[in-house]
Amino acid sequence: MKYGRELLKGNTDHLLLSLIGQEPIYGYQLIKEIGKRSGGYFQFKEGTLYTALHRLEREGLIEGKWERLSNGQERRYYYLTKTGRRVLDEKRDEWRGFSAAVNLVTERANTG
């Protein structure tokens, strides 16, 4: 099922912070992981992902560290900062309140 691109706005940060909060993870892996967990629903585009990641780092919510693999390759792993953890909790509450409110307005339409 397809969703309008505007729907994602305001939720990107929430999704990214959620996963990074679980364990350090790198950009490309985030795309795969979000796709997998959502049953293929979300397919983040790189233009979306890296822009968001850089913004979150600039805001101090995550911290990226280059790490070298045994084969010499480098990846940028992201870690959730203390501020990031707090913002994640806020985003979670925000999402719960928001989705509840949407349901209130749109479902009342059926029950009277």
65 three-class SS: strand
Q: How far apart are CA 88 and CA 94, in angstroms?
A: 10
Contact assessment for residue 84 and residue 17, using Cβ atoms and an 8 Å cutoff: yes
String of contacts with its own copies for each residue 8-37, x by CB under 8 A: xxxx--xx--xx-xx-----------x--x
Q: Mark 40-79 with x for binding to its own copies (rule: CB under 8 A) and - for no binding.
A: -xx-------------------------------------
Would you tell me which residues interact with DNA (CB under 7 A)? Answer: 4-6, 8-13, 26-29, 44-48, 50-55, 64, 71-73, 75-76
Is-contact 20 78, C-beta < 8 A?
yes
